[in-house]
Each structure stands twice: as C-alpha cells, then as structure tokens.
Structure 1
C-alpha cells in the first residue's frame, strides 16, 4: 500500500487538483474500461468511489498495477492530483 511518507504521494497531496483536467485524463486513460461517465463497463463503476477508498487507496489503485487487467499507470504528480480531484467529484 502507498504510504503517506512516499515522496510521490506527498507531492500529489500537496497539489491542488483541477477536476476539468482530471476528467480529460480520465477520458484518455480510464474511460475505455470504466465508461465515459465512470459508470462501469469492463472495469467497475467509479461513481462515489471516494466514499469507499481513501486518497491513498485511490492513488495506490492507479499506480500499482496490482489489479489486472488494470494497467499500471504513473501520471505526473499534477496529473494524479487532477485525476484524484475528478474521482472525488463523482
């Protein structure tokens, strides 16, 4: 699991995410499996996902590659902050 002390996580959480940018990142990288509105297709629905997963859990899910077939994805800290902000808006 990703730790609060991890430099990448610290960097992500220190930034202010832009949900509009996060939505664009989602459309490009995630919508193919999670649906255009994050309502699920091949991958599960991500509606209200932030009620079930912590910010650390969401970051870990995106970057770890531990839940095939979801690929490992390493966005820049700003992109991850944007994506996190978008996911929290669902």
Structure 2
C-alpha cells in the first residue's frame, strides 16, 4: 500500500494549466521553463527511465540534493 499522498497524486486527473503553474512556480528555476535543463537536469525523457511512484518519491523526499523536498497542494 502506498502512503496517502502518493495515492492522492496517482488518483488525480491531469490538469495542464494547474500543472504548468506548479512547475513554473516550483521547478522552472532549476529545470528551465521548457524543462530542458538548466541547473537541474532536463525532464523531457524522465518518464522513460523512472516509474511514477519513484518520481513522486524523488520529488517529495528531499533526498536528491540540491532539489528541495516538495509536496504541492492540489486544492
């Protein structure tokens, strides 16, 4: 069984505008506005080598320095 936050994230239906806003506010400074890498790596092909659950844990754990621990609210 997954932790409640992971379950919540996996149950969400995508919303491009909300996702873009969350990314722009929290991720674009390091990963670039087009997610093509800057300080942080490009995110364009990350789905090919990371499973959804591992990606969620990587983003929310804070165990990938210098990326901070991050848990957005979806409300």
Structure 1-normalised TM-score?
0.76
For 2:61, which of 23, 40, 64 is the aligned residue? 64
Cα deviation, 1:43-70, whole Å, max 9, x if unaligned, reads 0000121111111011011100001110
For structure 2, the residue ranges without an aligned partner over 5 or more in a row are: none
Cα shift at 1:20: 2.1
Cα deviation, 1:20-77, whole Å, max 9, x if unaligned, reads 211111011000000010000000000121111111011011100001110111112x
| 1:14 is aligned to 2:6 | no
| 1:52 is aligned to 2:61 | no
Q: Which moved more, 1:13-22 or 1:56-65?
A: 13-22
Which residue in 2 is equivalent to 1:34? 31
SS at match of 2:50: coil
For structure 1, the residue ranges without an aligned partner over 5 or more in a row are: 80-90
Aligned length in residues: 75
Q: Aligned-residue CA RMSD in angstroms?
A: 1.4
More helix by proportion, 1 or 2? 1
